[in-house]
Amino acid sequence: MFILGAICCRAGSKGVKDKNIKCLDGKPLISYTIETALQCELLDDITVSTDSETVMKMAEQYEIKNIFKRPAELATDTASKWNVFIHLLETYEMRSGIKIDYIVDMDVTVPLKTREDIEGAIQTAIKNPVADVIITGYEPDRNPYFNMVEIGDDGFAHIVKQPHESIVSRQDAPVVYSLTPAAYVIKKEALYKYEHWSKAKCIIHPVPRERAIDIDTEMDFKIVEFFYHADKILEFVNVRQ
């Protein structure tokens, strides 16, 4: 079995300017994912797919050998990441002669993920070979059966998921997960069998919410900064004790 790690990030961002190379505690965001991926013993190799020369140079500093410049059509904000995975996988197999079994996408925008989160998702895939995709996720504070609404054709707000009986306590609502792109473990065959992960057989690998924050806005970045520095303070206190 060959498991390929993938770090896919393009230049630019609408929500946060130059998000993938924005500095967190003086270090570019992409560095956190590369460093975490390098710790993962279950990854047989790590690749970077990007249209950014800056990102390429940063990856080279970590001695990543397989850095692929993606085609322009795969570097737009409307391009499907599924197609980016296929391009990365086929380019890697062609250059290396190695056949891939799983690709593990680790999104740069989730910098607080750990080796345990990534390897846990991989282990979930290995233990469940009938699954096509393993996705990291966490239990959110909002639940579509209880306190999330959508506006209907009648102009009024309605619970998103209508239960058979009214749910008066969030604890009584069915468990739902908010997805986080900390790790997507995808079986190679699934990339060609389905047009999107949502069509495949998926299993959720739960991760702690504080490590699952996906940076999409400046507010998200501030929250990540808060948790990052809080962890550093806690580490310092534990050492002093």
Sign, Cα dihedral of 177, 181, 187, 190? positive
61: nearest Cα among 51, 72, 48, 71: 48
Is residue 124's pLDDT more than 70? yes
What contacts 83, CB < 8 A, 6 or more positions away? 74
Per-residue confidence at 240, pLDDT binned at 50, 70, 90? low
Per-residue confidence at 144, pLDDT binned at 50, 70, 90? very high
pLDDT for res 156: 97
**2-11, 50-59, 159-168, 226-235: least confidently modelled range:** 226-235
- Note the pLDDT tens digit of each residue in 167-189: 888 888 999 999 999 999 999 99
Query: Contact at 8 Å (CB) between 70 and 50?
Result: yes
Question: pTM of the prediction?
Answer: 0.91
Q: Cα(79)–Cα(133) distance, rounded to whole angstroms?
A: 20
Chain centroid to CA 210: how far?
14
Q: Which domains does the chain have, with CATH numbers?
A: 3-138+177-240 (3.90.550.10), 141-174 (no CATH)
Is residue 238's pLDDT more than 70? no
Per-residue confidence at 230, pLDDT binned at 50, 70, 90? confident
Is residue 11's pLDDT more than 90? no
Per-residue confidence at 163, pLDDT binned at 50, 70, 90? confident
Average pLDDT of the chain to the nearest whole number: 93
Q: Measure the N-to-C terminal CA separation of the chain; round to a whole number of Å.
A: 44
- Note the pLDDT tens digit of each residue in 16-49: 888 999 999 999 999 999 999 999 999 999 999 9
What contacts 200, CB < 8 A, 6 or more positions away? 132, 133, 190, 193, 194
State residue 150 phi and psi, 5-degree precision.
-130, 155
Is residue 62's pLDDT more than 60? yes
Residue with tokens 């500095």: 23
Per-residue confidence at 10, pLDDT binned at 50, 70, 90? confident
What does the CA dihedral 1, 81, 218, 143 come to, rounded to 10 degrees? Answer: -80
pLDDT for res 197: 93
Sign, Cα dihedral of 7, 182, 223, 229? negative
State residue 136 phi and psi, 5-degree precision.
-75, 145
Compute the average pLDDT of residues 221-238. Answer: 81
Q: Cα(234)–Cα(241) distance, rounded to whole angstroms?
A: 11
Compute the average pLDDT of residues 192-205. Answer: 96
